[in-house]
């Protein structure tokens, strides 16, 4: 299987028990998560060699986070240690009419204060065939943005496929730069972009009449981009969603059917599971339609699992892709 490298911050996730509100909680459940790391862990369960690149504090907490990644089969040999603190996020899981809430505490984290010179990209990408980044990473600091750009540039020199999830958190950009200042340079070196029509307008100033028009104009502005992918979520309630996906490949728009997810156990990490499924499908099957469907199925399955990580076999995802969604007991 392919060797896939992902880059991004990993946070300690502190979630309220069950469906408790923050005000009710007197204890928190602890796990570790990050968008790009979630992609790596899912892919490792499907037989790929994955390695995640990040920086943790040199402390028991930092080592616990690294061991959590190792538990999910991810190569942690390129993780750096140093800096002041572990990034944290707090999760309150919603239900029915009440949506989930996330509160971040990640300013000045070990990863955000990285020294780009510490990352030896020639060594990190030595055996890689795929590199994945996301728009949250350059939102954290200029240093994190520089690390991301260096990784993309190194991947380009080596002819490695690059995917980028340009969805970003607008409230994270606190260092004097905005998405429109940073993301275009990263997109220029990216083959597969995960984005929607609004992202493309807000980041690149591209006005369009629809998603396909936006994709075509994005490709005209960034010739390296070969595919643009998006998902559409219909939220009937916090516990009941429909999910489908679209892929523009330069000549045709592919689309999946909706998958119904009801009830939702934990939707955090669902987008990362979709990306992992798409990457796996493109590598494993070489069929864009099947890869898109596999991505949606992987995302739907993730919604049934607590925590950010998708823990599954390829066969479990493939069964959902083929319509086996009854949830019957396996004996």
For residue 76 the two structure tokens come to 């942690």
Q: What is the structure's pLDDT at 170?
A: 83
Q: In DSSP terms, which residues pair with 14 in a beta bridge?
A: 30, 90
Helix (H, G, I), strand (E, B) or coil at 24: coil
44 vs 29: CA distance, rounded Å: 24
Q: Looking at residues 117-124, what average pLDDT do you find?
A: 97
Average pLDDT over residues 248-266: 96
Which residue shows structure tokens 């996020």? Answer: 89
Q: What percent of the chain is modeled with pLDDT above 90?
A: 91
In whole angstroms, what separates CA 134 from the centre of its chain? 6
> What pLDDT is attached to residue 50?
98
90 pairs with which residues across the strands? 14, 103
What gap in Å lies between CA 53 and CA 36, rounded to an integer? 9
Sequence-distant (6+) residues with CB within 8 A of 318 are 294, 297
- Nearest-angstrom CA–CA distance, 33 and 268: 10
- The pTM for the full model equals 0.94
What whole-number distance in Å separates Cα of residue 35 and Cα of residue 11? 10
Is 135 strand, coil or helix? Answer: coil
Residue 74 and residue 44 in contact, taking contact as beta carbons nearer than 8 Å = yes
Judge whether residue 277 has pLDDT over 60: yes
Q: What is the mean pLDDT of the chain?
A: 95
Measured distance CA(179)–CA(182) in Å, rounded: 5
φ/ψ (deg, to 5) at 176: 95, -5
Is the pLDDT at 302 greater than 70? The verdict is yes
CA–CA separation, 281 and 285 (whole Å): 5
Other Cβ atoms within 10 Å of 126 Cβ, number: 11
Say if residue 96 is exposed, middle or buried (CB neighbours under 10 Å; 0-12, 13-18, 19+).
exposed
Residue 240's pLDDT is 96
Rounded distance between C-alpha atoms, residue 9 and residue 224, angstroms: 26
Q: Could you read off the pLDDT of 76-89 as tens digits, one per residue?
A: 999 999 999 999 99
Q: What is the pLDDT of residue 325?
A: 86
Q: Dihedral of the CA atoms 19, 23, 24, 29 (nearest 10)?
A: 60
154 within 8 A of 125, measured Cβ to Cβ: yes
Tell me: pLDDT of 169 over 90.
Answer: no
pLDDT (mean) for 80-106: 93
How much is the pLDDT for 331? Answer: 58
Segment 128-142 shows an average pLDDT of 97
DSSP 273-295: HHHHHHHHHHHHT--HHHHHHHH
- CA angle 159–47–45, rounded 5-degree value: 115
Q: What is the pLDDT of residues 43-58, one digit of tens each?
A: 999 999 999 999 999 9
Alpha-carbon distance 172 to 162, whole Å?
24
Distance of CA 56 to the CA centre of its chain: 19
pLDDT at 326: 81
């Amino acid at each position: 299987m392919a060797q896939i490298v992902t880059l991004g911050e990993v946070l300690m996730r502190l979630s309220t028990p069950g469906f408790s509100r923050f005000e009710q909680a007197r204890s928190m459940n602890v796990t570790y998560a990050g968008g790009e790391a979630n992609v790596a862990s899912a892919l490792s369960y499907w037989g790929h060699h994955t390695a995640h690149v990040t920086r943790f504090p040199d402390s028991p907490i930092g080592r616990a986070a690294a061991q959590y990644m190792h538990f999910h089969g991810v190569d942690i040999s390129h993780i750096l240690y140093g800096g002041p603190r572990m990034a944290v996020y707090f999760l309150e899981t919603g239900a029915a009419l009440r949506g989930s809430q996330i509160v971040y505490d990640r300013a000045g984290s070990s990863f955000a204060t990285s020294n780009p010179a510490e990352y030896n990209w020639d060594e990190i990408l030595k055996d890689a065939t795929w590199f994945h980044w996301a728009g949250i990473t350059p939102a954290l600091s200029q240093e994190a943005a520089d690390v991301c750009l260096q990784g993309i540039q190194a991947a380009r020199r080596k002819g490695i496929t690059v995917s980028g999830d340009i969805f970003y958190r607008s409230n994270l950009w606190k260092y004097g730069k905005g998405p429109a200042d940073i993301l275009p340079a990263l997109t220029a070196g990216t083959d597969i972009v995960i984005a929607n029509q609004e992202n493309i307008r807000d980041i690149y100033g591209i006005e369009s009449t629809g998603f396909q028009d936006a994709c075509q104009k994005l490709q005209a502005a960034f010739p390296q981009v070969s595919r643009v992918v998006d998902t559409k979520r219909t939220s009937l309630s916090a516990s009941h969603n429909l999910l489908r996906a679209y892929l523009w490949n330069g000549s045709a728009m592919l689309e999946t059917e909706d998958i119904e997810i009801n009830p939702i156990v934990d939707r955090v990490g669902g987008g990362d599971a979709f990306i992992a499924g798409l990457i796996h499908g493109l590598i494993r099957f070489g069929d864009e339609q099947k890869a898109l469907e596999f991505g949606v199925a992987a995302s739907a399955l993730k919604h049934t699992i607590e925590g950010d990580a998708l823990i599954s076999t390829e066969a479990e995802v493939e069964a959902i892709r083929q319509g086996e969604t009854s949830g019957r007991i396996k004996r």
